[in-house]
Structure 1
């Protein structure tokens, strides 16, 4: 079905088009290029009936149709239920190691509209933009279709600060839903994840902008000067500690060495434990520390606590019991933010277990973020 939406309103920030124009010139010249996407469940393709009908694949197909002489590779690094805080920690492994030439970053419905997520998003944007291949970066703001919520207010500040192009569903598709010209159930079953028609519509907002860039004459002859950070920017250098680390002491925690299917198979490379008192200790450098663990729908599950530098008084509870039904969740809790930038001793210890625990406690990773 054809929908009439105001595509021009979708350009939340025009940004500097120098890099995007260069990628298009390389495509015109028939080069091999990597088209990549980093985001949450919408990028992963959640609720599209098959992977080729998600917005990311439609955008990849735009590149193939528009520049048939070029050789494109599709890289989808979307993981459902994850934020830019995890995105910056996994960017190297899941995205930058594939040497992308064009990257869409999509976390505006996963991040809350807070200063914290403005900082983690900035760290991610900087990490991708300054990476070895110097990719063209396009920011995409998806939206909740029942209330128009997203983190665009915060993410948009990053777009403008770095003069990056950004497109928005909040100012294109959402107003049509509010006006009743698009029935929300025609494009999304849950007011967030698009169905096939919704994914095609999201893609059309993005490809409208790309078409416009392609036909416009280039005005920028070079990249603008790279600005100093807008936030404290303590997340750009984030390191995940998993069971390949040698500097870990386990008492009852066991490394999970099973093979990982793909990046969405996220309960991998961690450790499991099932007895009260089981503990794991590791050294983590940084001024920010966060922990990833599994919250399970299979109940009951154990409960642990995490202690930094022996400060048991400020231990944080890690409850692996998940009271939702949609599936196990990769939980990410921030334990320390803007603390002392040094090597911290981090201990995770099981504090509650049950005779009939359905699953062990699964510690996926501990993430340390250092000031540059």
Structure 2
């Protein structure tokens, strides 16, 4: 019996011509996250122009024709010859599969081509030639890549390169040298992040408490960056946890055991949702009284339909707490240099709050070469076009630490911040609270109608230092195809009301029509965003409190489909 594995090829192949190509990931750390009913995985989304953007800021591609071809599957097949995937990790991690998925024209998440191939674990490149696979006519855009693991929490280092067909060329990029953390130039960059020292009474009080051995709690609320997106592992390498550890090292007593940590970042959500969940996710329904609250919504609040009123209301809610916590405004940034710092910093200026700008620290030096003074490139700072890498999270940590250091060394301000001011944007939602199946302190009258089930397929978020996600808004009302057509009714005394509903990419989720006092207000469409997450929308906003009757019913064209009411925010 011949063992073919011991034989060489009958005739060696001619060496392959080196193809032109570009990277969309270079030595990025990935981490397996638990997924409901599926294998743990790290997903990298490439739809909505993200493949083209990655080609630009990771791969250095500036050819507009190539960028345009990457925007849909038809163009990708004209351009791309193959995809190279390299994975490096230890043997005890077990098998890792690479998944490449297109989104469909008709059935966006269930209709496109999906390819799965096993990866090596020693860094050898696995090549997927596009011509070797059958592609569906429904393919619309490249949707996502994923790396599937055997268990959640496992990590690996990956590189993904796109190889082009003959006739297309892109310049080769030079791999960036390591960031020189702690160098003089690095420290100078960090110092530029201090947008405003602000009134220091509250922050110095928290530092002094920690030094004296009293219990101090640092809380963080924001979007996906605060959740830890891009950090691997997410629960220990994110800026929130690392800056908490830094605070313990700088000011804690007895190894910092007197310092507590609360992290409440939820991906894809603005302060419009943040203000509703602050009591639940930060104050833990009155069980936690944070001494410092870091607020990070600078890249999420484009989705705030009030354009800043929700943000200012959230800040005032925190500042007005009886224990007088310090509030630090943190302004993160996207890879296209965009954020809402100009809008939101008005709030910090009005109340003289400490403000830290990641944008001010890094964006200017992104434009420089190493010779001109570049400290970190965009490829090094960003994991994708939205979220920082471990290096990026480290820089955010150092920027917050610089604020703490400058505050500790400054003279104590004589008076506390003044809240008795006309709002700079608006304060309509001060005092907002949550209504769901568990929380109904206002005594709202609820008739659930056909919305009588509980949805368990929710957005999962890593809270605090927990590496595993927990469901958001688990005490919800879900309409199912079998539960009938009766409307959901809510009778409540309030001046404002927001509906929180679940977005979903599933084809069997439908729309719901919302009426207030018999008048049609809006149609809530879970598929408008297209992925499982929490969506807050304003139903009414008035000057005074009065009774309102809210009706929610499945839209006529969505009969026989699902819809989930996650909760309400009222004040």
TM-score (norm 2): 0.59
Verify the 8 A CA contact 1:274 1:302 in the aligned structure 2. Answer: no
CA shift at 1:187, angstroms? 1.5
What is the CA–CA distance in structure 2 between the aligned matches of 1:11 and 1:118, rounded to whole Å?
22
Match of 1:316 among 522, 526, 533: 522
1:347 equivalent in alignment to 2:551: yes
Residues 158-180 of structure 1 deviation map (CA, whole Å, 9 limit, x = unaligned): 10111111010111112222335
Question: What are the within-5 Å matches in structure 2 for residues 136-215 of structure 1?
Answer: 136-146=326-336, 148-180=337-369, 181=374, 182-215=376-409
Verify the 8 A CA contact 2:312 2:426 in the aligned structure 1. Answer: no
Change (3 A) 1:112 1:186: same
What is the CA–CA distance in structure 2 between the aligned matches of 1:18 and 1:278, rounded to whole Å?
54
- For structure 2, which runs of at least 5 residues remain unmatched after alignment? 1-178, 464-469
Match of 2:568 among 361, 366, 372: 366
1:23 equivalent in alignment to 2:231: no
CA shift at 1:28, angstroms? 1.4
Verify the 8 A CA contact 1:290 1:336 in the aligned structure 2. Answer: yes
CA shift at 1:339, angstroms? 6.4
Residues 31-90 of structure 1 deviation map (CA, whole Å, 9 limit, x = unaligned): 111111111111111121111100001110111111241511111111111211111111
Residues 178-213 of structure 1 deviation map (CA, whole Å, 9 limit, x = unaligned): 335232121112222111111111111111111111
Residues 329-366 of structure 1 deviation map (CA, whole Å, 9 limit, x = unaligned): 212222323466422111110013366x5xx2111012
- For structure 1, which runs of at least 5 residues remain unmatched after alignment? none
Verify the 8 A CA contact 1:308 1:347 in the aligned structure 2. Answer: yes
Match of 1:134 among 287, 311, 324: 324
CA shift at 1:113, angstroms? 8.9
What is the CA–CA distance in structure 1 between the aligned matches of 2:299 and 2:415, rounded to whole Å?
32
What is the CA–CA distance in structure 2 between the aligned matches of 1:247 and 1:41, rounded to whole Å?
34
**What secondary structure sits across from 1:237 in the alignment?**
coil
**What secondary structure sits across from 2:364 in the alignment?**
helix
The residue number in structure 2 matching 1:281 is: 489
The residue number in structure 1 matching 2:115 is: none
**What secondary structure sits across from 1:170 in the alignment?**
helix
What is the CA–CA distance in structure 1 between the aligned matches of 2:264 and 2:437, rounded to whole Å?
22
CA RMSD of aligned residues (A): 2.4
What is the CA–CA distance in structure 1 between the aligned matches of 2:544 and 2:368, rounded to whole Å?
50
1:75 equivalent in alignment to 2:279: no
The residue number in structure 2 matching 1:40 is: 223
Verify the 8 A CA contact 2:197 2:407 in the aligned structure 1. Answer: no
Verify the 8 A CA contact 2:455 2:478 in the aligned structure 1. Answer: no
Verify the 8 A CA contact 2:313 2:426 in the aligned structure 1. Answer: no
What is the CA–CA distance in structure 1 between the aligned matches of 2:527 and 2:261, rounded to whole Å?
36
The residue number in structure 1 matching 2:83 is: none
What is the CA–CA distance in structure 1 between the aligned matches of 2:348 and 2:529, rounded to whole Å?
36
CA shift at 1:304, angstroms? 0.8
User: More deviation in 58-67 or 276-285?
Assistant: 276-285
**What secondary structure sits across from 1:128 in the alignment?**
helix
Verify the 8 A CA contact 1:85 1:120 in the aligned structure 2. Answer: yes
Q: Which has the higher contact order (CA 8 A, sep 6+)?
A: 1
Verify the 8 A CA contact 2:230 2:384 in the aligned structure 1. Answer: no
The residue number in structure 2 matching 1:120 is: 310
What is the CA–CA distance in structure 2 between the aligned matches of 1:132 and 1:306, rounded to whole Å?
36
Verify the 8 A CA contact 1:267 1:294 in the aligned structure 2. Answer: no
Verify the 8 A CA contact 1:243 1:256 in the aligned structure 2. Answer: no
Q: Larger radius of gyration, structure 1 or 2? A: 2
Verify the 8 A CA contact 1:161 1:227 in the aligned structure 2. Answer: no
Verify the 8 A CA contact 1:243 1:255 in the aligned structure 2. Answer: no
CA shift at 1:250, angstroms? 2.2
The residue number in structure 2 matching 1:90 is: 277
**What secondary structure sits across from 2:432 in the alignment?**
strand
Query: How many pairs are equivalent?
Result: 360
User: More deviation in 153-162 or 187-196?
Assistant: 187-196
The residue number in structure 1 matching 2:165 is: none
CA shift at 1:6, angstroms? 2.3
The residue number in structure 1 matching 2:537 is: 333
What is the CA–CA distance in structure 2 between the aligned matches of 1:152 and 1:362, rounded to whole Å?
33
Change (3 A) 1:340 1:76: same
CA shift at 1:215, angstroms? 2.3
Change (3 A) 1:101 1:265: same
What is the CA–CA distance in structure 2 between the aligned matches of 1:293 and 1:56, rounded to whole Å?
27
What is the CA–CA distance in structure 2 between the aligned matches of 1:117 and 1:284, rounded to whole Å?
26
CA shift at 1:239, angstroms? 2.3
What is the CA–CA distance in structure 2 between the aligned matches of 1:302 and 1:226, rounded to whole Å?
43
The residue number in structure 1 matching 2:449 is: 251
What is the CA–CA distance in structure 2 between the aligned matches of 1:291 and 1:113, rounded to whole Å?
15
